[in-house]
Chains A and B, each alone.
Chain A
Amino acid sequence: MALRSIYRGLRKSNFLSPLCNSCSHLHSHATSFGFKEVREEEKSQLVGNVFTSVASSYDVMNDLMSGGLHRLWKERLVSELNPFPGMKHLDVAGGTGLGEDKSLVWVEGDAEALKFEDDSMDGYTIAFGIRNVTHIEKALAEAHRVLKRGGRFLCLELSHVENPMFKQLYDYYSFSIIPALGELVAGDRESYQYLVESIRRFPSQEKFAAMIAEAGFQKVEYENLVEE
């Protein structure tokens, strides 16, 4: 199975370190839509279309694609977060939004330009969302901005498989089975094609950890949840 990684960063400094503005892999992320090359301005619209299309069967597809494992990973993310009473927490890319608790507030927004104040959040999580933003470094910078000192950034994402044996199996599963499932269940092969391609295009664990550190976070760690 793919490596699912949790990235943790500790927000320490009060000001941001200079953003990396000439990294080729960032630029290529901003103009890549899966394996296709697109204009930067178009990407966000294209991604939006994908998710509008898959929204109705999103949860079912997640269960099918990961064999229900995605629930365990998310639980792991929450336990890592170690919530405390009175915590102000921001979860980005919240998806289909089924919560009915009064303490849960739904806000539509842009991860690259959050509407929240500086130093207002104790925690920030993003699960399976960061690879869909156009400019990852902007999303990270925003996360850094809204978090208080001592606040934590946690990210759950699909990562790269190193083991060559499983890589073959995983590639077959990703490129043959998943789009077919997408067609069958959601009636949309192309969106799922995008999803699996975008996993491949996402930076490796070490690179992504470097990006988090560049955004100003300290004590950056990552953990592969599924080790083969």
Chain B
Amino acid sequence: MYRSAARRLLPALCRRTGHYARQPSPIRCSAPIIHSAAFSASAASEKPQNHKPHQFGSSSSSSSSEGGKPRTTARPKAHWQEEQARVLQASLRHVIRLGWGEAAMIAGAREVGVSPSIVGSFPRKEAALVEVCIFTFVLVLLHSMCTSVNVHILLCHGVGPRFLGFLFSYTILFFMDDCLQRLIDIIDMKEDLKCLIPSQRVAKLVRIRLEMQAPYISKWPQALSIQAQPSNISTSFKQRAMLVDEIWHAAVMRPLIWIDFQDTWAFLDERVSDAFDLQKTVKEAKYLAEAVGAGMGGSVQGLVKRLFQVEYLEG
């Protein structure tokens, strides 16, 4: 939900700076639970609630393709997700005055002419605005990667090298996750897949998925190296597995048996954490000192490259 709100913000940003604006994809009403499980990226994980609300009629996704632009005129039957996104967008303008919490969202709701009660229906409302901002920031970063805009123009002042590394990781993993979500939406909506035989379906879906990466192809080697980092490898492995699973399921309509792989993942997780936990503090201190020292004179990209190289060699 907060991703769709962030996507709405982005075209406005992109229009101002003249960057490439990606076509917004149809909004998915309820994200599958496995989706959040795969992409935790060592950030705060969502605790599964004991009482999950049952969503009634939740399979409908918004069919409007103009969802990217904020609507100023009130449509009689605006989908609730659009309303929520509009409220969040408006709320960001009040953050400076009212902070990141509910007060800003209530003001935002009033601004767009919707009852502030709607705030009560937002999931994780304490973090809603922060999440929207993070997603927006991540999308901006992604856009910068597919154009020739140098990253350090966006993020040089006061951003530490470790945080930068984390940000790159988060962005790439987010991107992979987002592509999977968009693929699922496309699968759900595409009627003509039914006319094809399974092997043709696979080919078509793989092509669709690859096309999502096409704008970023010049920077793709960097993205791959980020995914291959020890701290990211099990997440990106799982994301790939989910992608294969999804394409397989859409093509063959039968579940793929992953039993063997469960053990592989568990093993992988353990080995990675074993190898790095104990030595982590010492190593981190070392990298930081080296990277900061070396980076003082160089560009941010050079700094990051150096940081990754050091990690990789010692891994």
Within A101-158, the residues touching B (CB, 8 Å) are 122-123, 147-152
Chain A residues packing against B (C-beta within 8 Å): 8, 10, 12-15, 80-82, 84, 87, 122-123, 147-152, 205-206, 209-210, 212-213, 218-225, 227
Asked if B76 and A15 make an inter-chain contact with CB atoms under 8 angstroms apart, the answer reads: yes
Asked if A81 and B54 make an inter-chain contact with CB atoms under 8 angstroms apart, the answer reads: no
Tell yes or no: B9 within 8 A of A by CB: no
Complex interface: chain B residues within 8 A of A15 (CB) = 76
9 A–B contacts, CB within 8 A, in A order: A14-B74, A80-B120, A84-B106, A84-B116, A87-B117, A148-B115, A205-B54, A210-B56, A220-B57
Specify the chain B residue showing the minimal Cβ separation from A17: B77
Tell yes or no: B113 within 8 A of A by CB: yes
B52, B76, B78, B117, most chain A CB atoms within 10 A: B117
Docked complex Cα distance between A209 and B57 (Å)? 9
Additional A-B contact list (7), CB under 8 Å, known A80-B120, A210-B56: A13-B77, A81-B117, A149-B115, A150-B117, A152-B121, A206-B56, A221-B53
How many contacting A-B pairs (Cβ < 8 A)? 91
Q: A150-B109, A210-B56 are in contact. Are A123 and B117 (CB under 8 A)?
A: yes
Closest CB of chain B to A70's CB: distance in Å?
Answer: 17
Asked if B118 and A152 make an inter-chain contact with CB atoms under 8 angstroms apart, the answer reads: yes
Closest CB of chain A to B147's CB: distance in Å?
Answer: 37
Docked complex Cα distance between A143 and B57 (Å)? 20
Q: How large is the interface on B (under 10, 10 to 19, 20 to 34, 35 or more residues)?
A: 20 to 34
Closest CB of chain A to B75's CB: distance in Å?
Answer: 9
Q: A10-B121, A14-B76, A219-B121 are in contact. Are A87 and B116 (CB under 8 A)?
A: yes
Docked complex Cα distance between A46 and B80 (Å)? 39
Q: A81-B120, A152-B118 are in contact. Are A10 and B54 (CB under 8 A)?
A: no
Complex interface: chain B residues within 8 A of A82 (CB) = 117, 119-120, 125
Closest CB of chain B to A153's CB: distance in Å?
Answer: 10
Closest CB of chain B to A114's CB: distance in Å?
Answer: 17
Specify the chain A residue showing the minimal Cβ separation from B102: A84
Closest CB of chain B to A2's CB: distance in Å?
Answer: 15
Asked if A12 and B78 make an inter-chain contact with CB atoms under 8 angstroms apart, the answer reads: yes
Asked if B53 and A222 make an inter-chain contact with CB atoms under 8 angstroms apart, the answer reads: yes
Specify the chain B residue showing the minimal Cβ separation from A81: B120
